[in-house]
Amino acid sequence: MRAVGKLARARIRPDHPWLTEYANLLSENWLEENLVHHRDFVQLVEEFAQRSAGGRTPRLLEAGAGSAAFSLMLSRRNYDVTAVDADPLMVLRAQHISAHLGGYAKIVCLDLHELAPFQDGFFDVVFSQGTFEHFDNATICALLDQQLRIGRTVVFSVPSLQWPTRDFVNERKMTTDDWKVLLQEVDAQLLHLSYYRPGDQHVLVALTRNSARQRPTLRESPGAGEA
């Protein structure tokens, strides 16, 4: 992987005033509850990562990491994890949470539209949870194109039509059928499309680029198309 540039990393000082505040934002109990809630998503990330790595330590990229909770958790499971987010304050927050809870991920300040620093196919899986619902179709396709360049598989989870709230106002809550139509605009093979469980509040997607030399086998998706 090429260097991401001297200004891309943001680090928090031990005497930073947020030290105490952010120590209480996440806990081990919260991480465990989050893992249980998103177990289908995490399982799919791990499945494709292990298959791609072929025995070496799998390389993962979390795109739009926010608190980087998934990166923190996966880094403690013997994955080489990089997490990127465009907000430098969010990166500081995530770095502190990771240090406080014993994570090993590299947390980098980098815009999702600017993934050029990473080499083609460097990551076994590029993953995100709760990111793509904030963008329009054209932007989603452009972001996926970049992620499919640097990752052998892209796995993401987004709120479905059954999600009960709009936490950030601009969420696009869509069904699996809606996503199937949208993803036809992307130069990729659809590997998985389902709800976590039939009628669930999250849609789960896995893609690989059409030109990939080796493509993972399509997983069964019994929940696809169900609302």
- The residue count for the chain: 227
How is the chain split into domains, by residue range? 38-209
Q: Provide CATH code, domain 38-209.
A: 3.40.50.150
> Which of helix, strand or coil describes residue 132?
helix
Can you tell me which residue has the tokens 């001297």? 6
| Cβ–Cβ < 8 Å for 112, 63 | yes
* pLDDT tens, residue by residue, 140-182: 999 999 999 999 999 999 999 887 666 556 788 999 999 999 9
Q: What is the reported pLDDT for 169?
A: 65
Q: What is the reported pLDDT for 24?
A: 53
Q: What is the reported pLDDT for 51?
A: 96
Cβ neighbours of residue 167 closer than 8 Å, sequence gap 6 or more: none
Name the pTM for this structure: 0.82
Q: What is the reported pLDDT for 9?
A: 34
Name the stretches of the chain with pLDDT < 70: 1-25, 164-169, 211-227
